[in-house]
Amino acid sequence: MNKPELEGTAHLLDELDKKLMVLLRDGRTLIGYLRSVDQFANLVLHRTIERIHVGKEYGDIPRGVFIVRGENVVLLGEIDTEKEGELPLSEVSVEDILDAQRKEQEQKQDQQKKIAKALQERGMHFMSDINQEDMY
């Protein structure tokens, strides 16, 4: 007899106790073992790490037990533990990856400022230059 198809967040019940990668709305990447899930797709991850990627390097920050609201999940999937060690990336210390991430963010901000300035010189406004109050 065929197993009945689960609908909605019930699909996540098949992922309990598996190692998952979760991409959050704010861009963070979490890797941990799924311990619990509810009808809103809220997740409880155990032995969680936050993985930060910059170029071809990554660093892992231990986070322990992590509760994630379902509305913040963009993507989630099971980690293939056999292929996990074959990453084409090199692991660096937490301090090094945080420093690289800070430098990368500074470069992006500088680039956005240049774009905003160029648009402003042409009479246009970059969205970050517009006050929230002006939008309503």
Positions of CATH 2.30.30.100 in the chain? 1-90
13-41 tens-digit pLDDT: 778 889 999 999 999 999 999 999 998 98
70-96 tens-digit pLDDT: 999 999 999 888 887 787 888 899 999
3-state secondary structure at position 47:
strand
Q: For 37, phi and psi rounded to 5 degrees? A: -150, 145
**Fold type of domain 1-90:** SH3 type barrels. (2.30.30)
Does the model's pTM come out above 0.85?
no
